[in-house]
A and B are shown apart, each in its own frame.
Chain A
Amino acid sequence: MIDLPPYPPLDPSNYDLIIVGTGVSESVLAAAASSSGSSVLHLDPNPFYGSHFASLSLPDLTSFLHSNSFSSPPPPSSPPLPPSNNHDFISVDLVNRSLYSSVEISSFESEILEEHSRRFNVDLCGPRVVFCADESINLMLKSGANNYVEFKSIDASFVGDSSGELRNVPDSRAAIFKDKSLTLLEKNQLMKFFKLVQSHLASSTENDDTTTVKISEEDMESPFVDFLTKMRLPPKIKSIILYAIAMLDYDQDNMETCRHLLKTKEGIDRMALYIISMGRFSNALGALIYPIYGQGELPQAFCRRAAVKGCIYVLRMPITALLLDKETGGYKGISKMKLSVFLSQRRLINKRKVARGICVIRGSVKADVSNALIVYPPKSLFPEQLTAIRVLQLGSGLAVCPADMHVLYLSTLCDNDDQGIKSLLSAMSNLIRLPDPENHQSDSVVENDTCEAKPILLWRALYVQELVKGEFGGTISSMPSPDGNLNNNEIVESALKLYEQLMGSEELFKEETSVENTTEENDDGVDIED
């Protein structure tokens, strides 16, 4: 670590709120709190914005993963504070808990990558996209953070299986019409189901209309997978709806391994997000968009918004300890001061983990498609595959990698590292040519002819990230780690919850809302490049 010059003293020295870490939820909170007039100090030990949501160059990503993993030696601890007994506060040491394990990074064409190393903006929390109707988009529009980010559409969405074939996800009327792999009857059944959901959604917004079809209360409480069966949808369609539209992780047909059996109500909500996203912006191709320059742009946009509203930013500021008041347990100094800290050390959720993989490839997994989402439903790759594997391919158009290359993000939920990594490797070998032929001797003969079409792996990172929930209450609250979801909705939700706790019922981004609405009436507000 480079010795940095000491920071100049901060002025003012008292804040309503001190936030450590610049992940999505912290940044949203910072923007919201500053907007409502609170004085906020926003710190981050890293030299970049975004914390675990950052987009980094390949070397930076490598070092960040290593320095935040269990296997690496603990970071050199700062000189211990002088014994504090003689003061009226106590010191609580903060240990930056490592999130990552089984980090394995391999480079196969180092020279080329080094040449372009600064042209990569690789997400730590991938695969992660934005639904057009996401809460984070609403918040951006409300806060004005939308002015700092541009998006592009994800061109296509596929479902994959062990055969290596990628089939389009028939997620809209036009897509169902165009789909070549569905039978006519399947088209009919799928569209019927979409219509039922749409009619149900319409009836819940205009509750006076009795003519529209509504899903019964009883069905809403039953498992979604049972409801789909009841609607006589064939297994193929069920799988598309469950894993490629509702974006579920766990095998809904296997009660033993399914950690989260989705109710119809939740399923309809998830479909609603997808359906509303499809139609939200006229210049978006589908439901999903992605920020140009990477996911790290999102927390940064909120930080910039916060800075405009007077939030003070200090990066490269490691927090080693908290000083708590002896009597109250609160902070020394101004009683109003509240502190929000990233990462609870206590609440690990059943030791759940998400295995992530990043591949830099030459070529594309599907001809003529650059930005695409691919879902492998449970059991689609191998019988023991318990959870869905999601893969996101992004191209140079999004300024995340050099031209002619693509970045591939993979993730799947897992209970242990081996299980997760195995799933990711299986998806990788399905999509790309792995450079090490020794592992695949048995396959090589069979795959020979298809091999040529598959993109070549240039660089790969595999790591397993622990899932940590946020914890609020008291004067110190903590925020969640990146979750296993495809979007930031739950992350943003927790930030809003905390905001409510801190600020009460004060309206979110009140001021900005009124300005925005009058000036940009005809604009969608969100920049989506064609």
Chain B
Amino acid sequence: MHGRPRKASKPEEEAASAAKAVKLRSLQSQFMKNHHDKIYTEEAIELSTKLLEINPEAYTAWNYRKLAVEDSLSRIDSDPNLVNSILDEELRVVESALRQNFKSYGAWHHRKWVLSKGHSSIAHELKLLDKFQRLDSRNFHAWNYRRFVVELTKRSEQDELQYTDDMINNNFSNYSAWHNRSVLLSSLLAQNADGFMPNERIPDEYDLVHSAIFTDPDDQSGWFYHLWLLDQTLNVETPLLTSSWPSHGSTIILSGAGCLNGSSSKFTTFCSESGSFPLILYFDQAVGGVSSSTVTIDSELKGNEDLVWEPISYKNSQVSCVWVTHLKYVSTDLCEYKVKIRVGNSPGIVSSRGHNFRAPYEFVFTAHVHDTVKDSQEGIVSWTDGFDIWDAKSKDLNSLITLDQLQAEIDFKWRQEAIDSEVECFGILSDSKIGKLTLARLLMAREAMVSDDAVKGVRYEEILQLYNDLMALDSSHYQYYKDEHSVAFLHKMTSSSESLSRHLFRYRGMNNLVCLRLNNLSLSRIASVEKLLFVQMLDLSHNELHSTEGLEAMQLLSCLNLSHNRIRSFSALDSLRHVKQLKVLDVSHNHIGKHSVDTTRYLCSSPLSNSEWSQDDVGRQNPGLVTKYWDAYFVLRDLNLKQLDIAGNEISGNEFSSFVLQVVPKLVWLDGQKLGN
């Protein structure tokens, strides 16, 4: 039961419980002997009954009874009357055990087990449940069992929904009831049952939960349910393509290694030593099945018939939001090619929740291939000068618009209306922490749905202010609010070409690379990456980042500045392993190596058990250092860095520098020093 203070026991009660313990111990040892000797006589079973009536938590005794029941059932030739009497006796024992403790896992499980063997009256089960749920309406065991019984009886989900109505009306601080409601509604909505179309039903549910939240904002149940509803409103089951690089209608310039300086600054220039460039697809949810059969490419670029698509995933899974392939080009023919991509023409792209990609999308871009003079100049990349102001007319920002066009194709109307009315509703309840947080979440959701340029992005200031307030109000969740603040800031920045271009530059030093400078913004998390796929150079210095998670989608990224952040280990840079173009990395002035205990380290299997590295040259030559710097080793080994800055970390020093040189033999610049060959 809830909200009842525990009373200290009186001496006589303690004496009684000591006596009970003695009795229990003797019962227990007798019982264990029976169990061990597989004795299933009436007396032996009776003994287990006694034990369970005193202590329903004796799980072994429940298991023993299961064996005993199997034993007696095997001996009676399935006479239905006898079977029922044996099972009814079990149900009786469970009932009296539950009376002793109706939160006994073992007892509830035994009851389920008995019912699965057969039963005389299922109607009795619902009556019994009503009794238990009246005693404690929030008892989740009873609710679990209820779902089980309902399934057996084929009671309709609508009836069960009505039952949750009644329970909630009785006392809306019943999270179990709200939860059951969400389970039932999920099922009914998924079936599109009569009267359960999401666009009609979800707004009704909002009305219901508003009453709970507004009546008692201090009660959590309603807020949880609201969060679930919000999720139902925002979640589009069908996966959608949110962006791509190159984006629709864009022009890119491709050239060989060591590209020409001074090429037209209006386009993204991509240089590659390998004669290929990435093609990135970014989906709104993790999908699998992206392949040359589900994505077709029409172009005159030769040799791209059997493309291999790779999921860019933090974990090694076959589903991901980001998929990339590499298109080959031959730099000798100076030419212009049109490339046409069709995503999802034939079925096969499926979300991790099993929904098909159903909105085929087609986009076209132009690729100019430049023949270039080989120039192996390898100057140091500076983060302080050599930047030109962004030309606002550039078509690279098309990717921002593409997203909205995609969304507009799906019917968002009721979702938009639902969120709009939520925003209006929670505006008046924003004096509490959870009220502020909900409003901030709603406003974020709203901004994500708005496609009208006139009202787009107008609420971001408010969102940022709400998170600022929350950081001040609720220090124990400071980091969460901080992260959300960063996300909101990045959404705001990418909400329009104007705001984004304020942070964009061209880096003269390396063939007019597109550079995004987000330094000194106290960012703690990376977001909106899907709109930044074209970025080749990224300055995130002087922020509060803990990890590079999210950056793996930025396949064009060749220079990254993470100096003066809060990176605590190389494991936090793990996502960079997917960024194959990365040449320049600055992680100076972080906390790498400061904490002797690295929590992520304990989540990884021991590097010593990994067979990969032991066959490696470096591993063979210097196993001691690899063991010591294994996290650095795993990340750096997979990168093709030319320039690395590591100074200002606890880990840096001569030993580590020499280790780095072994792992990254192609490195030219280390901590600003050119390395001699």
14 further interface pairs, Cβ-Cβ under 8 Å (given A177-B215, A178-B169, A187-B211): A173-B171, A173-B172, A173-B215, A174-B169, A176-B211, A177-B169, A177-B212, A178-B211, A179-B211, A184-B214, A184-B425, A188-B215, A188-B429, A195-B216
Tell me if B210 is interfacial: C-beta within 8 Å of chain A.
yes
Chain A contacts for B429, CB-based, 8 A: 184, 188
A174 to B177, CA, bound (A): 14
Tell me if A185 is interfacial: C-beta within 8 Å of chain B.
yes
Min Cβ gap B432→A in Å is 10
Which residues in window 135-155 of B have CB below 8 A to A? none
Contact of A184 among B169, B170, B172, B210 (CB under 8 A): B210
Is A177 touching B211 in the complex (CB atoms < 8 A)? Answer: yes
Chain B contacts for A178, CB-based, 8 A: 169, 211
Chain B 516-542 near chain A by CB (<8 Å), digits 1 or 0: 000000000000000000000000000
Chain A contacts for B210, CB-based, 8 A: 184
Tell me if A323 is interfacial: C-beta within 8 Å of chain B.
no
Tell me if B19 is interfacial: C-beta within 8 Å of chain A.
no
Is B211 touching A185 in the complex (CB atoms < 8 A)? Answer: no
A-B pairs with beta carbons under 8 Å apart, 24 shown: A173-B171, A173-B172, A173-B215, A173-B216, A174-B169, A174-B170, A174-B171, A176-B215, A177-B169, A177-B172, A177-B212, A178-B169, A178-B211, A184-B211, A184-B214, A184-B425, A184-B428, A184-B429, A185-B214, A187-B215, A188-B214, A188-B217, A188-B429, A195-B216
A187 to B172, CA, bound (A): 14
A179 to B214, CA, bound (A): 12
Tell me if A233 is interfacial: C-beta within 8 Å of chain B.
no
Chain B 166-199 near chain A by CB (<8 Å), digits 1 or 0: 0001111000000000000000000000000000
Tell me if A213 is interfacial: C-beta within 8 Å of chain B.
no
Chain B binding surface SS class: helix
Chain A binding surface SS class: helix
Q: Counting chain A CB atoms within 10 Å of each CB, which of B170, B212, B214 scores highest?
A: B214
Residue of A nearest to B207 (CB): A184
Residue of A nearest to B208 (CB): A177
Chain A 288-301 near chain B by CB (<8 Å), digits 1 or 0: 00000000000000
A403 to B252, CA, bound (A): 88
Residue of B nearest to A184 (CB): B214
Chain A 176-215 near chain B by CB (<8 Å), digits 1 or 0: 1111000011011001000100000000000000000000
A173 to B217, CA, bound (A): 12
A281 to B413, CA, bound (A): 50
Q: Which A residues are closer than 8 A to B by beta carbons?
A: 173-174, 176-179, 184-185, 187-188, 191, 195
Q: Counting chain B CB atoms within 10 Å of each CB, which of A173, A176, A178, A184 scores highest?
A: A184
A524 to B170, CA, bound (A): 21
Size bracket, chain B contacts: 10 to 19
Chain A contacts for B214, CB-based, 8 A: 184-185, 187-188, 191
Q: Which B residues are closer than 8 A to A by beta carbons?
A: 169-172, 210-212, 214-217, 425, 428-429
Min Cβ gap B75→A in Å is 44
Min Cβ gap B207→A in Å is 9
A174 to B172, CA, bound (A): 7
A185 to B214, CA, bound (A): 7
- Across the A-B interface, give the 5 residue pairs with the lowest CB-CB distance, nearest first: A184-B214, A188-B214, A187-B214, A187-B215, A176-B215
Q: Counting chain A CB atoms within 10 Å of each CB, which of B211, B212, B215, B216 scores highest?
A: B215
A173 to B222, CA, bound (A): 14
Min Cβ gap A42→B in Å is 44
A185 to B210, CA, bound (A): 10
Residue of A nearest to B171 (CB): A174
A187 to B208, CA, bound (A): 13
Residue of A nearest to B213 (CB): A184
Is A191 touching B211 in the complex (CB atoms < 8 A)? Answer: no
Chain A contacts for B212, CB-based, 8 A: 177
A188 to B212, CA, bound (A): 9
A184 to B426, CA, bound (A): 10
Min Cβ gap A276→B in Å is 17
Chain B contacts for A174, CB-based, 8 A: 169-172
Chain A contacts for B215, CB-based, 8 A: 173, 176-177, 187-188, 191
A191 to B171, CA, bound (A): 14
Contact of A185 among B170, B216, B428 (CB under 8 A): B428
A187 to B222, CA, bound (A): 14
Chain B contacts for A188, CB-based, 8 A: 214-215, 217, 429
A221 to B169, CA, bound (A): 37
Chain A contacts for B171, CB-based, 8 A: 173-174
A188 to B425, CA, bound (A): 12
A188 to B429, CA, bound (A): 9
A188 to B211, CA, bound (A): 9
A191 to B218, CA, bound (A): 11
Is B216 touching A191 in the complex (CB atoms < 8 A)? Answer: yes
A153 to B258, CA, bound (A): 89
A45 to B182, CA, bound (A): 67
Chain B contacts for A195, CB-based, 8 A: 216
Residue of B nearest to A178 (CB): B169
A174 to B429, CA, bound (A): 20
Min Cβ gap A470→B in Å is 43
Min Cβ gap A178→B in Å is 6
Min Cβ gap B3→A in Å is 12
A187 to B212, CA, bound (A): 9
Q: Counting chain B CB atoms within 10 Å of each CB, which of A176, A177, A179, A195 scores highest?
A: A177
Chain A contacts for B425, CB-based, 8 A: 184
Min Cβ gap B134→A in Å is 10
Chain B contacts for A179, CB-based, 8 A: 211
Min Cβ gap A170→B in Å is 9
A195 to B171, CA, bound (A): 16
Chain B contacts for A176, CB-based, 8 A: 211, 215
A179 to B210, CA, bound (A): 12
Residue of A nearest to B431 (CB): A188
A178 to B170, CA, bound (A): 9
Residue of B nearest to A185 (CB): B428
A185 to B429, CA, bound (A): 8
